[in-house]
């Protein structure tokens, strides 16, 4: 798929806390999405409420927010960061 030139910054919403031993595939897929999009030249803003995930590693995203995943906080982050696109579908079941 060709890179879209009208999109520079993508905000990815992570899965938040998960049960130990379950759903690590969401963490892995989110991390891989961040890495793939950064490789294509997109700036990545990551929001996740789970600080114990590999997604919040400093090398995964350009900007990382460890914040509650609720509408009020996400709205504040969107207003501050002004992403061109949202990727909310890496959040789990």
CATH code of the domain in which 62 resides: 3.40.50.20
Q: pTM value?
A: 0.85
Is the residue at 34 inside a domain?
yes
In the sheet with 85-87, reading across from the earlier edge strand, the strands are 63-66, 43-48, 9-13, 85-87
**Domain extent for 59:** 9-87
Is the residue at 65 inside a domain?
yes
Is the residue at 3 inside a domain?
no
For 19-65, how does the pLDDT look when each residue is reduced to its tens digit (9 = 90+)? 665 556 667 888 888 999 999 999 999 998 888 777 777 888 999 99
3-class SS of residue 48: strand
Is the residue at 60 inside a domain?
yes
Is the residue at 1 inside a domain?
no
Which residues touch 58 (CB under 8 Å, ≥6 apart)?
Answer: 64
Mean pLDDT, to the nearest integer, of 6-19?
85
Q: Give the C-alpha separation, 15 to 53, whole Å.
A: 9
Structural domains counted in the chain: 1
């Amino acid at each position: 798929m060709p890179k879209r030139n009208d999109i520079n910054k993508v905000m990815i919403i992570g899965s938040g806390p998960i049960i130990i031993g379950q759903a690590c595939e969401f963490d892995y897929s989110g991390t891989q999405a961040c890495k793939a999009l950064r490789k294509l030249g997109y700036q990545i803003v990551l929001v996740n409420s789970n600080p114990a995930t590999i997604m919040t590693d400093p090398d995964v995203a350009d900007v990382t927010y460890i914040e509650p995943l609720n509408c009020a906080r996400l709205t504040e982050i969107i207003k501050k960061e002004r992403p061109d696109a949202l990727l909310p579908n890496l959040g789990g079941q």
